[in-house]
Amino acid sequence: MTIRHRFTTALRGLTTNRSRSFLTILGIVIGITAIMLVVSLGAGAQALILGQVQGLGTNTIAIIPGRAPTGPSDTAQLYGDSLKVKDLVALQNKSNVPGLKSIMPTVLGADTASYGSNTYQVSIFGATDLMASIFDLNPTYGSFFTQDDVVSSNDVVVVGSKVVEHLFDNADANPVGQKIKIKGRNFKIVGSLPPSGGGSLFNFDSMAIMPYSTAQNYLLGIKYFQRIIIQAVSDAAVTVTADDISSTLRDSHGITDPTKDDFTVQTQQDLANRLSTITGALTWFLVAVASIALFVGGVGIMNIMLVAVTERTREIGLRKAIGATDSDILWQFLIEAIMLTVLGGVIGIILGSSLAFIIALILSRGLGVDWQFIFPWGGAALGFSVSAVIGLVFGGYPASKASKKSPIEALRYE
């Protein structure tokens, strides 16, 4: 029997029982669809997050107070106030960090802002004028505050879209020139920001952004920074600059043992790698969950193939009586099972990627998220090969059972 006839015989077996074939592959279709969906959406989410992180500039370096604890007795993470003005001065010294292009200390807080009788809980973000270029912020009205505002600790603020909406009763209002009150102090609005969008990693909608010096002196009452953001002169200079930052801060803090650092220097690449690892792990965890559906589908295939073998026992007997060998029968049923699972796999791949495409479309158009559809070639290859293997494994036992039947026992089967 030629290979082509093995395939046509198997295909005829499947097409003569169309509804059963369809129901049989349903489990595989669902399993592969789920895997494709999860892998595609996972890749989309990863691309979105990484895109936003990298959008901050791959030459960006963040200094965070404290360090990742090495054990329960390691209290370094509590050094929340380790970054001070003297560190800023040391880092700005070109001989310490020659690769430094710009530096921006930041402070964070929260308080209630009011305008007339309206109040709104805002996040206070103290930074410098560099913030606009680092986070690519373009005010709808007005402009960002200036270097002079930072130096003079002026009472100026740039507000997010929700702050405008809640304080001025209208999201589209132009608040520039108005004064809002935070902690009893008047702040002049110099700019307002457009909505950040639902999928944005950094959401400035509820923020009141002001010079860090103003926030430190008048609102938070602190003398330290919660982050220092540094831009290196080039991507290539990031590693050297990060090392220079570490040694400068160690000198400034009198630390000789790097394991005792009370700060953490994090490059965008570190962050991107970490986020990539997290989203990747999450995706594969979900793939593992979806694989359970696939396994159940495989058991379903075996179940139906066993039923098919029993139901078609007389056919097996007849085929053997007219000259089919054991291997002809084995291949007939094995190819039937593999065809079923591969067909299920292909339908699942098409269905899963179509659903992922539709979801990407809804997210990007409907919700304004910059979500890209990514066809998961890896997921498709995995789905296709897993479904073929399932056919081989779960179809193998019924096929082997069918091939071993004696012709006369099979013919006599009632």
> Using CB under 8 A as the criterion, which residues of the chain lie in contact with other proteins when the complex forms?
1, 5, 9, 12, 16, 314-315, 317-328, 406-408, 411
Nearer to other proteins, 49 or 339 (CB): 339
Nearer to other proteins, 346 or 410 (CB): 410
DSSP codes joined into one string, 313-343: HHHHHHHHHTT--HHHHHHHHHHHHHHHHHH
Minimum CB distance to other proteins, residue 5 (Å): 5
Residue with tokens 């929340």: 80
Q: Is 323 left (phi over 0), alpha (psi -120 to 50) or beta?
A: left
Nearer to other proteins, 46 or 313 (CB): 313
* Whether the Cβ atoms of residue 66 and residue 78 lie closer than 8 Å to each other: yes
Minimum CB distance to other proteins, residue 316 (Å): 11
Nearer to other proteins, 247 or 325 (CB): 325
- How many Cβ atoms from other residues are within 10 Å of residue 165's Cβ? 19
Q: Tell me how far apart the alpha carbons of residues 126 and 145 are, in angstroms, rounded to a whole number.
A: 11
* Whether the Cβ atoms of residue 231 and residue 102 lie closer than 8 Å to each other: yes
Minimum CB distance to other proteins, residue 321 (Å): 5
Q: Tell me how far apart the alpha carbons of residues 46 and 372 are, in angstroms, rounded to a whole number.
A: 10
Q: Tell me how far apart the alpha carbons of residues 115 and 168 are, in angstroms, rounded to a whole number.
A: 7
Nearer to other proteins, 141 or 331 (CB): 331
- C-alpha dist (Å) from residue 400 to 24, 329, 369, 404, 414: 19, 8, 52, 6, 21
Minimum CB distance to other proteins, residue 24 (Å): 17
Nearer to other proteins, 9 or 241 (CB): 9
Minimum CB distance to other proteins, residue 29 (Å): 24
Nearer to other proteins, 112 or 406 (CB): 406
SS3 category, 130: coil
Answer positive or negative: Cα dihedral of 387, 393, 394, 398.
positive
Q: Tell me how far apart the alpha carbons of residues 58 and 135 are, in angstroms, rounded to a whole number.
A: 12
Give the HSE-up count for residue 80: Cα atoms under 13 Å, Cβ half-sphere.
4
Minimum CB distance to other proteins, residue 301 (Å): 22
Per DSSP, what are the bridge partners of residue 411?
none
Minimum CB distance to other proteins, residue 317 (Å): 8
Minimum CB distance to other proteins, residue 353 (Å): 34
Nearer to other proteins, 110 or 321 (CB): 321
